[in-house]
Amino acid sequence: MTKTLRGAFAALACSTLLASPALAELTGDLKIFLDTSNPAPRATMEKMIADFQEAHPDLNIETTVIDREAYKTQIRNFLTANAPDVANWYAANRMKPFVDAGLFEDVSDLWAEAEIADNLASTKGAMTIDGKQWGVPYTYYQWGVYYRKDIYDDLGLSEPTDWDSFKANCQAIVDSGKACFTIGTKYLWTAGGWFDYLNMRTNGFDFHMALAAGEVSWEDERVKQTFANWRELIDMGAFIDNHQTYSWQEALPFMVQGDAAGYLMGNFAVAPLREAGLTDDQLDFYQFPAINPDVELAEDAPTDTFHIPANATNKEAAREFLRFVVSADVQTEINNGKNLGQLPVNAASMVDDDKFLNEGFKMLSSNSPGGVAQFWDRDAPAEMAKVSMEGFQEFMVKPDNLDRILAKLERARQRIYK
Amino acid sequence: MFPRPIEKSTPAARVAYKTLLPVALLFWLLPLLAVAVFSVKPDADFTSGNYWGWPSSFEALNNYGKVFFASDMPRYLLNSVLITVPTVIGAVALSTMTGFALGIYKFRGNLLIFFMFIAGNFVPFQILMVPVRDLTLEMGLYNTKTGLVLFHIAFQTGFCTLFMRNFIRALPFELIEAARVEGVSEIRIFRYVVLPLMRPAIAALSVLIFTFIWNDYFWAVVLTQGAESQPVTAGITSFNAQYRAAYHLMSAGSIVAALPPVLMFFLMQRHFIAGLTLGAVK
């Protein structure tokens, strides 16, 4: 049955191909390098590539899966020396070094096609450098506040809609003897998430990106306002104590045991929380509310991407593969709960019947007009991200040191962005 | 100087000793016990903060099953064997020969060469990290088991030579002289006179080097990457998924990885203790 359906599709595809002579049958080799070395994502990718192979039987596809960590160092080598036709990577600042070095192919032509231009608008910004697009996304996930609905209900609270109700909720939770938020800043990046949201809500997406790009001073009054907002939460006792000693996973028990009512985190936190016994009635999600009503809402949604190396040999087939990856059906398939369990990048895709994926998909497709950030340690250069996240952690423990911390970050900015 | 037997101390001291010893032992073993207990707990126990309590369910079969059948762990274990065994053979074989040469023959520079072997032991191996990595990269041995084995042999031979040379020095020299008088060639003296006498030293050294190399983490991380070449010590980290560390599987994996040296120790306990004292006293 599926066979015949596929056959019909193939026939249909052939007939359309015949109609447009520019798209001749794909031949030759297509070398694909992947870093999806964990078993589940690996199987997903291999299945997807097998489907592509079936649609293009004359193409000789060769897939290489490299260990995720090793890939990060090897990519520098293979993009210059022994380039595949397609390679996966990350969006925004993480792809900038390769774009600047001329190692990624400009694929703005793909983004000009109606199918992609209309359906992938939410991630276009993340793929754009110097006004051109350098790849396509294939999956992403949302960030936001995951909270214990049962605790909110007990205290008679509801999801906050603005900064005042956010703080009022928090005060009520603190008064009941709990912490509003659990967080583990031992590995720093979790504090980066808080900074992302507080700064994007206080000063807006564009300012946030300018700061990540080193165009704004860390001692700017607007940055100080972000930290002043943050300090209100710290002084209130919003965060759990001794958070600098926990990893993000070690901070989960506070939420499970009900000592903390919420967690600003990525969607990957849902799986362990469910396994620990929290039901969907107890666990809920809300978008980080507006602080400054004059700036548009923007979200963190780290995006994984496919690129064509500039030195690729079979760029025509590579482009067709990229079109295939972002098409609505493939996006629905690879991001469903059985596969990646994340969000499809194509607005015409279907999302699994999962409460959190649905909320995230809706939020990112329609309620993030400001833009989509990639997360602080992907948006800022690695060195600046490290120094600044150390500063965020110190600030969360000793808020009185703020002036010294900002002076240090400003010195680092002068040095790093030369 | 020598510790007095506990039977000779006052009764109060004896009682204190007997009660404190198990307590100290328990504290000492607590981290290991925690790992052992975690290896039979479900993942959810970590997320719900049940670090020290009774497991909410027993997942020993599940966890260890995953380690053996749903991960690259068997591959890593095999790599460990393929790295450790050749290293033991190589290092021990080379050092019996160098030990023989340095222990038996008197030639100029003997002591100097011997000191150079010893001096190698005093180089903190961390400072070799970058040059050795570059070297293996240039030789095309980076990320191969061969590269790791060759480096381990080179680095361990220093210590082994010290050990072997001192052992051979302690052998009665008359045996060798007698053989020479009989007109036995030097190579046959090594093969038929010295080598049989060195059996205890070889056994002790093999056990020692086996545990050293099996437990090596530093060079495994520096010189290899990925399941095709990494030994089990480095492979345990592969239980870290993209977002989450699977502590229950890492615990189970650690237990599995720790078993061969422990087993080796119990089987060869006699040689092991002999090995630790053999080189030290002389």
A287 exposed, middle or buried (CB, 10 Å; 0-12, 13-18, 19+)?
Answer: buried
A153-191 core/surface letters (b: 16 or more CB in 10 A; e: else): eeeebebbeebeebbebbebbbeeebbbbbbbbbebbbb
Q: In chain B, what are the domain boundaries? A: 6-64, 69-281
CA distance B181 to A402: 85
Query: Do A130 and A231 fall within a single domain?
Result: no
Across chain A, mean pLDDT equals: 90
Cβ of B245 within 8 Å of Cβ of A266? The answer is no
Q: Are residues A186 and A320 in the same domain?
A: no
User: For A289, which DSSP code?
Assistant: P
Print the domain residue range for A92.
14-141+301-372
Q: Are residues A198 and A343 in the same domain?
A: no
Distance from CA of B239 to the nearest CA of A (A): 9
A152 in the same domain as A105:
no
In a domain, A8, yes or no: no
Instruction: With CB atoms and an 8 Å threshold, state whether A272 touches B44.
Output: yes
Do the beta carbons of residue B153 and residue B94 sit within 8 Å? Answer: yes
Average pLDDT for chain B:
88
Residues A137 and A149 in one domain: no
Q: Are residues A120 and A204 in the same domain?
A: no
Task: Tell me if chain B has a CB within 8 Å of the CB of A277.
Answer: yes
* Whether residue B271 has pLDDT greater than 80: no
Tell me the percentage of chain A whose pLDDT exceeds 70. Answer: 94
> Which one of B48, B59, B71 would you mutate to disrupt binding with A, by most A Cβ within 10 Å of its Cβ?
B48
Q: How far is A9 from chain B (nearest CA, A)?
A: 35
Residues A212 and A338 occupy one common structural domain: no
CB contacts, 8 Å: A256 with chain B: 47-49
Q: Which helix (H) or strand (E) holds A89?
A: strand A86-90
- Per-residue confidence at B265, pLDDT binned at 50, 70, 90? confident
The verdict on A37 and A53 lying in the same domain is yes
A66 contacts B47? CB cut-off 8 A: no
Cβ burial B262-274 (10 Å sphere, 16+ → b, else e): eebeeebeebbeb
Chain A touched by B43 (CB under 8 Å): yes
Distances in Å between the alpha carbon of A77 and those of A81, A94, B93, B210? 6, 16, 39, 36
- Whether A231 and A403 have beta carbons less than 8 Å apart is answered as no
Which pLDDT tens digit goes with each residue over A155-200?
999 999 999 999 999 999 999 999 999 999 999 999 999 999 999 9
Best of A36, A64, A66, A69 to disrupt the B interface (most B CBs within 10 Å) is: A69
**Residue A3: inside a domain:** no
pLDDT at A244 over 60: yes
Gap from B246 CA to chain A (nearest CA, Å): 10
Which residue in chain B has the smallest CA separation from A251? B47
What's the N-to-C CA distance of chain B in angstroms? 19
CB contact under 8 A, B47 and A275: yes
Determine the average pLDDT of the residues in A403-417: 95
Q: Using alpha carbons, select from A364, A360, A345, A361 the residue that is nearest to residue A119.
A: A345
Give yes or no: residues A165 and A295 share one domain: yes
- Residues B79-95 have pLDDT tens digits of 999 999 999 999 999 99
Architecture of domain B69-281: Orthogonal Bundle (1.10)
Residue B243 has pLDDT above 80, yes or no: no
Q: Is residue A263 part of a domain?
A: yes
Whether residue B94 contacts residue B156, with contact meaning beta carbons closer than 8 Å, is answered with no
Q: Is the pLDDT assigned to residue A319 strictly greater than 80?
A: yes
Residue of B70, B226, B245 with shortest CB distance to A67: B226
SS3 A303: strand
% of chain A residues with pLDDT over 90: 72
Name residues 211-240 of chain B within 8 A of A (Cβ). Answer: 225-227
- As a whole number of angstroms, the distance between CA B281 and CA B117 comes to 19
The beta-carbon neighbor of A276 closest among B44, B227, B244 is B44
A152 and A101, same domain (yes or no): no
Looking at the structure, tell me whether residues A166 and A38 fall in a common domain.
Answer: no
**A31-56 pLDDT, tens per residue?**
999 988 777 788 899 999 999 999 99
Residue B281 has pLDDT above 80, yes or no: no
Q: Please tell me the least confidently modeled range out of A250-254, A266-270, B43-47.
A: B43-47
Is A173 within the bounds of a domain? yes
Structure letter (DSSP) for residue A104: B
Helices (H) and strands (E) in chain A — how many of each? 20, 13
CB contact under 8 A, A68 and B227: no
pLDDT tens, residue by residue, B120-138: 888 888 899 899 989 998 9
Is residue A20 scored above 90 in pLDDT? no
**Predicted local confidence at residue A4, as pLDDT:** 46
Report how many domains make up chain A: 2
ipTM above 0.90, yes or no: no
Residues A202 and A265 in one domain: yes
Q: What is the CATH number of the domain that holds A344?
A: 3.40.190.10
Question: Tell me: the pLDDT tens digits for B1-27?
Answer: 567 777 788 888 889 988 999 999 999
Look-up of token digits 């991407």: A305
- Cβ separation A266–B244 shorter than 8 A: no
Query: Residue A105's closest CA among A320, A305, A306, A310?
Result: A310
Give the helix ranges, DSSP H, for B105-144. 110-122, 129-138
Distance (Å, rounded) from C-alpha A155 to C-alpha B48? 22
Find out whether B178 and B172 touch, Cβ atoms under 8 Å.
no
Please answer whether residues B250 and B236 qualify as being in contact, where contact means their C-beta atoms are separated by less than 8 angstroms. Answer: yes
**Quick check: B47 and A273 CB within 8 A?**
yes
A167 backbone φψ class: left, alpha, beta (φ>0; ψ -120 to 50): alpha
pLDDT in tens, A345-401: 998 999 888 899 999 999 998 888 888 899 998 889 888 999 999 999 999 999 999
Give domain status of residue A9, yes or no: no
Task: Give the pair of three-digit tokens for residue B113.
Answer: 């060469």
